[in-house]
Amino acid sequence: MAVEVEFGIPGWPGRPPRRQERVGWSAADSAVVAAFGQRVWREARPAWTQSGWWAADLRPEVREMTLLTPGPDLQQRLVDLVAADRARGYRLGECPHPHYAPNIQERVGVPGSPCACQVVLVAAWAAVASWTAAEADQMVVEVAGATSVEQVLVAERPELGVVCDPAVEELAPALRVSPAGARYRLDGLRRIAGLPRLQAAVRCGSVWAWQAHVVATDLRHLPHSDQVRVVDQLLDRVERRRDQGLREWTLTDLRVQAKRIAARLDLDLTARRRDCHARRGVRLRLHGQGFATVAADLTDDIATRIFNRLTAVAAGVAADSDDPDDVGVPRTLEQRRADVFTDLLLGDTGGVASRPGGSHECSRPGMPGGGEVAVVVDVATLLTLGETPAEIPGCGPVPAQIARQLAADLPWRAWLTRTSAAGTQVVATSPTTYRPPAGLARLIRAREPHCRMPGCRTRAVDLDHVTPFPRGLTTEANLGPLCRRHHVLKTHLRWRAKITTDSHDPPVPEPDPLTWTWTTPAGITYTDQPAPPLDCAPPPI
């Protein structure tokens, strides 16, 4: 059977696949060539692309773009494609490629129902925008100076002093920011300039420019040498995920991983926590027009425990309000949380928290109840045989000493982990005094504490049957956490998920890490694995 196949050496920028016509190969031969091309592309693909794109239904012009690195060539391809589509009568958000539609009523490749081509084009524009932002940021640093510049006010009168970074006031009007804003931006850009590997990651599209700014800002309290080490280890992990074909990390993922690595590099968390405790306080800010903010500066574990307690009580309070100003208007959870906060501090314990339908014993699904906060700790640390920093889900690393104290405190729930060649997995949860759910549900939420939709970090989740019940059994291998929105999308729209475990030969007795494979309505696949609950790699030398 004569077929048309595409082949070439994918991954070489500027060299698109060539089309060999009528070679007379069978469909099986064509599939082998396609699989080989996909494998080569995945190994050499540009950093801004996702592993599942090559197998998606893409028009040739878009597929060729996945071979290009961010820069002028990719930008020009995007401009030319938009111009060509507009000349043919298509508008932005419409794709001329004849994509497969699941039924005659549903259209693919139109606004609101994107095809794979449109998803890739959006990412390509974002990659070009990030590259352009990196070039602009580099220009700011070069013009203002890579390090702080001091200029003597009057050379003949040195006693008048110097002015620091006079270029700030010159650049501020051009950038449409205040001098203070320009100085803040310059400080951030200099931090990135001092991390050349992070700069390189931005230029190739492995990390977006705005993500790099946030990560560098998070690390500013560390010595520069430690910042370099954290960035190096973070980008090593990013590259390992790319080699495994897993989805690219979101900003939250990057920040969590950087925080964990920093905790491994700087094990003196106890001293830092003591310093935070010494700087505790409560602040009042009056905004005017009857609005004000009360803020408390506390250690992160205590703040998390307080917030969860407020959430648990507020979730059990009736949405109807007896405030004359709010009659007939249901209160949001945020408003009920503020009402509980007010009543508890002002001593009105018979007010909001005791209204009909309210209960101090209620909590949102997937949220720790009452004052409970989970602490993830490995067995060796719990038995004082190790000092691995523990983790409070949604909060971050805590010192081993604090973790042992929290795990021994009844209102806290300890999640125990075990590390093997297969990775670090949650293997058990301790009993809790707050109405524990079924053991299986508790284990699933401990294993994966947030929604498993790619990139979602919502911790208020349902436990979803990945293979719908009754075809799929209610077992550990068939349950996964999904927030309500993504649970609905998976159930009623064409989102598909599959859970597999990494097999080992020979089999290992420890639990294998789970692998989630998502297929979007546009036909793009994303592969992901739950992040290990603890960073149990050997301490850096």
Whether residue 303 is predicted with pLDDT greater than 70 in this model: the reply is yes
Give per-residue burial for 138-152: e unless 16+ CB within 10 Å, then b.
bebbeebeeeeeeee
Q: Examine the domain organization and report whether 412 and 501 are in the same domain.
A: yes
Q: Examine the domain organization and report whether 288 and 235 are in the same domain.
A: no
**Domain-located, residue 364:** no
**Domain-located, residue 369:** no
Average pLDDT taken over every residue of the chain: 78
CB atoms within 10 A of CB 357: 10
Whether residue 441 is predicted with pLDDT greater than 90 in this model: the reply is no
**Domain-located, residue 362:** no
**Which of 354, 387, 414 lies at the terminal end of a domain, its last residue?**
354
Tell me the average pLDDT across 18-25.
45
Nearest to 339 by CA among 371, 312, 314, 304: 314
pLDDT in tens, 473-518: 777 778 888 988 898 888 888 888 988 875 544 444 444 567 889 9
Confidence of residue 449 (pLDDT cuts 50, 70, 90): confident
Using CA atoms, how far residue 138 sits from 142, 181, 285, in Å, is 6, 17, 37
At residue 411, what are phi and psi to the nearest 5 degrees?
-70, -5
> Which residue would you say has higher pLDDT here, 528 or 31?
528
Q: Examine the domain organization and report whether 171 and 241 are in the same domain.
A: yes
Q: Examine the domain organization and report whether 469 and 441 are in the same domain.
A: yes
Confidence of residue 333 (pLDDT cuts 50, 70, 90): confident
User: How high is the pLDDT of residue 438?
Assistant: 61
The whole model's pTM is what?
0.71
Instruction: Say if residues 377 and 416 touch (Cβ distance below 8 Å).
Output: yes
**Which of 220, 240, 266 lies at the terminal end of a domain, its last residue?**
266
Please give the residue range of the domain that contains residue 448.
Answer: 374-528
User: How high is the pLDDT of residue 77?
Assistant: 95
Q: Examine the domain organization and report whether 379 and 520 are in the same domain.
A: yes
Q: What radius of gyration, in Å, describes the C-alpha atoms of the chain? A: 27
Nearest to 349 by CA among 367, 357, 341: 341
**Domain-located, residue 325:** yes
At residue 349, what are phi and psi to the nearest 5 degrees?
-70, -15
Whether residue 390 is predicted with pLDDT greater than 90 in this model: the reply is no
Q: Examine the domain organization and report whether 292 and 260 are in the same domain.
A: no
Confidence of residue 450 (pLDDT cuts 50, 70, 90): confident
pLDDT in tens, 344-389: 888 654 444 434 333 333 334 444 444 455 677 777 777 777 778 8
Whether residue 533 is predicted with pLDDT greater than 60 in this model: the reply is yes
**Domain-located, residue 442:** yes
Q: Examine the domain organization and report whether 169 and 314 are in the same domain.
A: no
Q: Examine the domain organization and report whether 290 and 245 are in the same domain.
A: no
User: How high is the pLDDT of residue 263?
Assistant: 81
Whether residue 199 is predicted with pLDDT greater than 60 in this model: the reply is yes
**Domain-located, residue 152:** no
Highest mean pLDDT among 362-371, 424-433, 462-471: 462-471
**Domain-located, residue 464:** yes
User: How high is the pLDDT of residue 6?
Assistant: 41
Q: Examine the domain organization and report whether 382 and 524 are in the same domain.
A: yes
At residue 398, what are phi and psi to the nearest 5 degrees?
-135, 155
Whether residue 191 is predicted with pLDDT greater than 60 in this model: the reply is yes
Tokens of residue 469, six digits: 């019940």
pLDDT in tens, 133-164: 999 999 999 999 988 888 777 777 777 777 88
Where do we find the tokens 């989740």?
Answer: 461
Query: Hey, is 84 helix, strand or coil?
Result: helix
**Gap between the Cα atoms of 308 and 432, Å rounded:** 15
**Domain-located, residue 134:** no
Region label for 531, one of left (φ > 0), alpha (ψ between -120 and 50) or beta (otherwise): beta
Q: Examine the domain organization and report whether 293 and 224 are in the same domain.
A: no
Region label for 159, one of left (φ > 0), alpha (ψ between -120 and 50) or beta (otherwise): alpha
pLDDT in tens, 212-252: 999 999 888 888 988 999 999 999 999 999 888 888 999 99
Q: Examine the domain organization and report whether 350 and 390 are in the same domain.
A: no
**Gap between the Cα atoms of 100 and 64, Å rounded:** 20
pLDDT in tens, 245-298: 888 999 999 998 998 888 887 756 677 778 888 888 998 888 877 788 999 998
User: How high is the pLDDT of residue 358?
Assistant: 39
User: How high is the pLDDT of residue 427?
Assistant: 57
Tell me the average pLDDT across 461-474.
79
Angle between helices 196-204 and 224-244 (to 10 degrees): 30
How many distinct structural domains can be found in the chain?
4
Give the percent of the chain with pLDDT over 70.
75
Q: Examine the domain organization and report whether 392 and 497 are in the same domain.
A: yes
Whether residue 114 is predicted with pLDDT greater than 70 in this model: the reply is yes
**Which of 325, 354, 383 lies at the terminal end of a domain, its last residue?**
354
